[in-house]
Structure 1
Amino acid sequence: MSSSPPDAALPAPLRHDRIVSLVEGASGLVRTATLAAALGTSEVTVRQDLTTLDQEARIRRVRGGAVRLGAGSRERPLEETAVEHQTAKAAIGRAAAALVRSGECVVLDVGTTPAAVAAALVAREDLDDVTVVTNSLTTALALEPAIPRFTVIVTGGTLRPLQHSLVAPFADAVLARVAADVVFLGGTGLDVEHGLTNVNLPETETKRRLADAAGRTVVVADGSKFGRAHIGIVRALEDIDVVVTAGAAADAVAPIRAAGVEVVVADGERHHDTAGRNDTA
């Protein structure tokens, strides 16, 4: 009985087509080890293939593997992303809010995951005398029920309707006068090489200013953000104190921890089995 040759015996062009097919069929990062196992070849060969495919603009190579070209590169409306990963975002919000103490000044970024932090802060009736600074109109309104326990400060600036956010010019005027205890930052990508990244440059610049206004940086990101890198670098990994996540695979979390960043997994760690499914550990 005849059988097809193993992937390892495939000529490079066919092997490249197979890699592109695997990457394009995935929802996020496809790791080098996963590709090597699927192809029956070495990780060294796969890395060489990924470099070639990246140069040919067929996929985008990132640290640890590859993502499909343009993956996550389109900025999406807040209302669209709000309905995604809701359980993970709620868990992240609760775990992040648990890091805040009465009397502190907190900076909250724009985005659906920082908005979940805002909701969890409001729900913490034990908190008092908390000042929250935000550049998000949506988040400011969500915090309103906590007044007068909370003081809510909106940065001002130029309105971006897609995210209901306030950016430069003028947003910096308030942030330059704030010395906050902690900032909770969102983004569209998180990986070891680039740190926290974002698809939109005006948002990215304001996120940097938000981080500069606080003594401690906490990134809030669900598992879909891991292993992705986008155009705007918000914060290098060495400048991030804590990452709070949920819905993240253990092999995605491990490189961040190995780089020295504390990672809080709000819903328990997950692993990938050989069939590529996500299971709760």
Structure 2
Amino acid sequence: MTALNAMQRHQRILEVLEADGKVSVMHLSDSLRVSVVTIRNDLEQLERQQVLRRIRGGALAVRAARFERPLHLASQAFTEEKERIAKLAATLVRDGETIMIDAGSTALAFARALSRSLNDVAVVTNALDVALVLAEHPGIRVVVTGGTLRGMQRSLTAPFSTLVIGQLNADTAYVSCTGIDLDKGFTTGSWEEAEVEKAMIAAASRCVILADHSKFGHVGSARVAELSMVDLLVTDSDVAPETVASFEAKGLQVLAA
């Protein structure tokens, strides 16, 4: 195994915590093949960023579903799964469409995956990173909503963002989330982002949710949409078949990348 740098170690640590909820220093030291001292330093850094809580001999997850994770840290978790989701979802976009893209690491991966051959596509977004990724795309016109800047996500929120979105009509809203639950639907950890996402869904003829397998079974503090409001969920193939079946039984179409 090639030695991992600090960013790669942090990504692995976050992935373990996302899956298991807690982890020991010794387990991380063995699996990542670095010293206990190095792991403790990694955990200290991540705790300062409020994405985990250190305990004796290890760490506990601070659930991203209920509490928001900074964009740069969210981008380090489940990167391969998000790229697969993004590539599959990108095949749904057609020439001449107007689409909306929210803020978040999966939404950013989706923007990066959009084909360079697309033509006459308008993208409405509240995410500065999405806008910058698409700024040089020859066939895409980018509309940035405006609004109050949120540094954690580098996104723009209400009131101006929702006012602008409310004046537009789109073919499809591509929206991410941090929690997926059969009863609570799709949720996120920020009510500001939830208001923007609700506005995008209301302004679009179709809604596509982009979310990796770690979001299932979690409920965030702010509701984005009920299951019945979503036309398609694009996720990754690590979701258990019985979980997919339970959502399909509720009438939700699910595509796994």
Decide which of 243, 248, 252 is 1:261's aligned counterpart: 252
**What displacement does 1:70 show?**
6.5
1:187-202 aligned within 5 A: 187-202=177-192
Matches within 5 A, 1:109-188: 109-121=102-114, 124-146=115-137, 148-188=138-178
In structure 1, the residue corresponding to 2:193 is in which secondary structure?
helix
Identity across matched positions, percent: 40
Q: CA deviation at 1:189?
A: 0.2
Note the 1:204-223 alignment, pairs <5 A. Answer: 204-223=194-213
* Post-superposition CA distance 1:140-183 (Å, at most 9, x none): 0011121x310000000000000001001211221122100001
How many Å separate the matches in 1 of 2:126 and 2:76? Answer: 21
CA distance in 1, matches of 2:141, 2:63: 38
Residue 71 of structure 1, aligned match among 52, 63, 74: 63
- Aligned counterparts of 1:26 and 1:117: Cα–Cα separation in 2: 23
Q: 1:25 to 1:114 in 2, by over 3 A?
A: closer
Q: Write the distance in 1 (CA, Å) between the matches of 2:222 and 2:78.
A: 23
TM-score (norm 2): 0.74
| Cα distance in 1, alignment partners of residues 149 and 19 from structure 2 | 35
Q: Which runs of 4+ in 1 moved over 4 A?
A: none
Paired with 2:92 and 2:211, the residues of 1 have a C-alpha distance of 15
1: CA distance, partners of 2:109 / 2:175 = 12
Residue 125 (structure 1) shift: 2.7
Question: Secondary structure in 2 aligned to 1:145?
Answer: coil
Q: Distance in 1 between matches of 2:161 and 2:111?
A: 20
State the one-letter code of the partner of 1:71. R
Structure 1 match to 2:225: 235
Task: Specify the SS of the correspondent of 2:134.
Answer: helix
Partner of 1:224: 214
Q: Alpha-carbon deviation of 1:256?
A: 1.2
- The separation in 2 between residues aligned to 1:153 and 1:27, in whole angstroms, is 40
Q: Distance in 2 between matches of 1:234 and 1:252?
A: 20
Alpha-carbon distance between aligned partners in 2 of 1:119 and 1:145, rounded to the nearest angstrom: 11
Kept in 2: contact 1:196–1:233 (CA 8 A): yes
Structure 2 unaligned spans of 5+: 1-16, 22-59
One-letter amino acid of the counterpart of residue 233, structure 2: V
Instruction: Check 1:132–1:258 CA distance in 2 against 1; reply closer, same or farther (3 A cut).
Output: same
Amino acid at match of 1:125: R
Higher relative contact order (CA 8 A, sep 6+): 2
**Residue type of the alignment partner of 1:105:** T
- In the other structure, the counterpart of 1:244 is 234
Determine if contact 2:83/2:109 at 8 Å carries over to the other structure.
Answer: yes
Report the counterpart of residue 273 of structure 1 in structure 2.
Answer: none
Between structure 1 and structure 2, the one with the greater Rg is 1
Deviation at 1:252, TM superposition (A): 2.4
Cα shift at 1:26: 6.0
Indicate conservation of the 8 Å contact 2:18/2:61, yes or no. no
Does the alignment pair 1:108 with 2:98? no
